[in-house]
Amino acid sequence: MGRGRQKAKHTKVARELKYFSPETNYDALARELTSAERDAAAAARLEEDLEKWPEFADGGDETRTA
């Protein structure tokens, strides 16, 4: 295959990628964004709990007695 054909194929692929616009799934986007907010809230609650009970912050295995 000559360089001209190869370049034409690359140009065609580049043009297809440039003008490709998939359908946006807004429901999936909303789920993803709300799960991030829930994860942030859970992390904040974890920080509060670790401040209340510092013995659990390091794993807690050393503080247990047999």
Read off the pLDDT of residues 2-45 as tens digits, 9 standing for 90 and up. 788 999 999 999 999 999 888 888 998 888 888 777 777 888 88
The total domain count for the chain is 1
**Per-residue confidence (pLDDT) for residue 8, from 0 to 100:** 94
Residues contacting residue 63 through CB under 8 Å, at least 6 positions apart? 55
Q: Is 33 exposed, middle or buried (0-12, 13-18, 19+ CB in 10 A)?
A: exposed
Answer yes or no: is pLDDT of 62 > 60: no
Tell me the residue range of the domain where 30 lies: 24-54
Q: Are 50 and 56 in contact (CB under 8 A)?
A: yes
In a domain? residue 40? yes
Q: Is residue 9 part of a domain?
A: no
What average pLDDT does this structure show over 59-66?
52
pTM score: 0.33
